[in-house]
């Protein structure tokens, strides 16, 4: 089964390169490549992707605004933000707007493909170094959605461990290896964490996990 991908990227050379990589790799299909975010809902409705690669810096509506609109209209579509290392604040706003993860713009093509696969399969594309930087930004700037009171959150010790690893930016496979459990067991624990934290994506869990770390010394 092919993963259908749409691209928002204002740099023509980068956009065409990403399109060529996707269409030249078995299991991927680029269904649309766009230079800006105008009429983004209509563009996505026509291209019908599973995953969107989103540039933050674009003329017209920026990637954060486009992410917000697409998340509202197409909640099942996964959005991966393309960013640079020092964009902590923009990454924060993108995640709050519904992005499922992010990759660095200087990552090699293989990393892009891995990121797309990861979010398509329910994980989150998170560079560990950037994830730690962003969680620090979350904790230093308490302007995020409220988390249920600590007494209302009854995570098991294993769930706490996995949540901590999630806040460090580890993907599901890395968590499984570090916790000495199977990939499927990690997915099951994460589903329980979602339910208890009242979130619907791993990115939201990471954001709220950052809050919990500040509150409960998790």
Report the CATH number that the domain containing residue 65 is assigned in CATH: 3.40.50.2300
Compute the C-alpha angle 81/132/211, nearest 5°.
95
Full-prediction pTM beyond 0.85? no
Inform me whether the pLDDT recorded for 54 exceeds 70: yes
Chain centre to alpha carbon of residue 166: 12
> CA-to-CA distance for 123 and 202, rounded, in angstroms?
7
pLDDT at res. 93: 76
Residue 100: burial class (beta carbons within 10 Å; 0-12, 13-18, 19+): buried
CATH code for the domain in which residue 174 is found: 1.10.10.10
Whether 133 is in a domain gets the answer no
- The domain total for the chain is 2
Range of the domain at 204: 138-216
Which two structure tokens, joined as six digits, stand for 55? 């540039």
Tell me the three state secondary structure of residue 51.
Answer: strand
**Average pLDDT for 132-153:** 55
Residue written as tokens 């890395």? 174
Inform me whether the pLDDT recorded for 138 exceeds 70: no
pLDDT at res. 48: 96
Residue written as tokens 């589903």? 191
Whether 205 is in a domain gets the answer yes
For the four alpha carbons of 8, 12, 14 and 20, in that order, the dihedral sign comes to positive
Same structural domain, 117 and 18? yes
> CA-to-CA distance for 102 and 160, rounded, in angstroms?
23
- Strand pairing class (28-34; 3-8): parallel
Same structural domain, 189 and 144? yes
Same structural domain, 192 and 88? no
Could you tell me what percent of the chain has a pLDDT over 70? 75
Residue scoring higher pLDDT (5 or 214):
5
> CA-to-CA distance for 91 and 97, rounded, in angstroms?
10
Same structural domain, 7 and 101? yes
Same structural domain, 10 and 82? yes
**Average pLDDT for 204-214:** 62
Inform me whether the pLDDT recorded for 90 exceeds 90: no
**Average pLDDT for 101-119:** 87
Inform me whether the pLDDT recorded for 209 exceeds 70: no
Same structural domain, 70 and 157? no
Same structural domain, 25 and 109? yes
The band of 150, judged by pLDDT with boundaries at 50, 70 and 90, is: very low
């Amino acid at each position: 089964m092919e993963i259908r991908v749409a691209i928002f990227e204002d740099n023509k050379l980068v956009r065409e390169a990403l399109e060529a990589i996707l269409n030249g790799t078995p299991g991927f299909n680029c269904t649309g490549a766009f230079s800006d975010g105008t009429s983004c809902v209509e563009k996505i409705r026509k291209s019908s992707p599973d995953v969107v690669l989103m540039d933050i810096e674009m003329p017209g509506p920026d990637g954060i605004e486009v992410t917000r609109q697409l998340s509202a209209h197409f909640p099942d579509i996964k959005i991966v933000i393309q960013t640079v290392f020092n964009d902590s604040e923009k990454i924060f706003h993108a995640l709050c707007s519904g992005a499922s993860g992010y990759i660095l713009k200087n990552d090699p093509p293989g990393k892009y493909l891995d990121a797309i696969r990861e979010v398509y399969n329910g994980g989150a594309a998170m560079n560990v170094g950037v994830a730690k930087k962003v969680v620090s930004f979350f904790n230093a700037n308490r302007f995020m959605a409220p988390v249920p009171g600590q007494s209302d959150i009854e995570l098991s010790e294993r769930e706490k461990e996995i949540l901590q690893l999630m806040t460090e930016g580890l993907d599901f496979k890395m968590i499984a290896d570090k916790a000495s459990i199977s990939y499927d067991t990690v997915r099951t624990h994460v589903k329980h964490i979602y339910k208890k934290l009242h979130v619907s994506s791993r990115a939201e869990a990471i954001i709220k996990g950052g809050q919990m770390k500040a509150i409960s010394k998790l």
